[in-house]
Copies of this chain bind each other. A is one copy, B any other.
């Protein structure tokens, strides 16, 4: 019925500059945020939608098609018994993480940045990777629970290891919304308040949380 894909990309920059070509690859609206959501592993279409409120289904389809055509995203089917379609970054797509980090680090200094808006779980983990300061690091082992999604974060020898799925032997487990965890770790909300409001539940060693949080700080505003 719809065999011919016209695949017109008439909006080019015609510029040999790598930056300009990068914008042709991931400069379309939502494209980089879709990649952000895939940075920690494959996701389903519906999971992407719920992590990106405001992105409609047809646009998500277009972005995934475009990213797949560019060799950044691969459409896969999970092995049985799951057998569901998922979208995954290719190796090269994964290499875009430094771009996301630099952009986030820089924009966090914006006077117009509102850190109280909703935050996806992947965004939180990537922001931890971005804002981690090895000079302030103390060993700590934390897990996070966001609904059915679980993540681990480990500080060891001045390095941060983080990702999807729980880790071994966490010293503390934090459960709540990603935004509340951000408030806790970046220090613009107090743990006592967050627990009293029911925004966060904490299990285990609170000292480990304090040690962990000490390594993370938001940069000052540029103004």
Contacts and interface: CB of A to CB of B under 8 A. Distances in A.
Interface residues of A, number: 60
A4 interface: no
A17 interface: yes
A189 interface: no
Contacts of A92: 109-110, 222-223
B33 A107 contact: no
Number of copies of this protein chain within its complex:
2
Interface string A66-99: 0000110000000000000000001110011011
Contacts of A14: 53-54, 117-118
A176 interface: no
A2 interface: no
Interface of A: 11-25, 27, 29, 32-33, 36, 52-54, 70-71, 90-92, 95-96, 98-100, 102-120, 123, 126-127, 130, 179, 182, 222-223
12 contacts: A15-B120, A16-B179, A17-B126, A17-B127, A18-B127, A22-B103, A22-B106, A22-B110, A23-B103, A27-B27, A71-B111, A99-B103
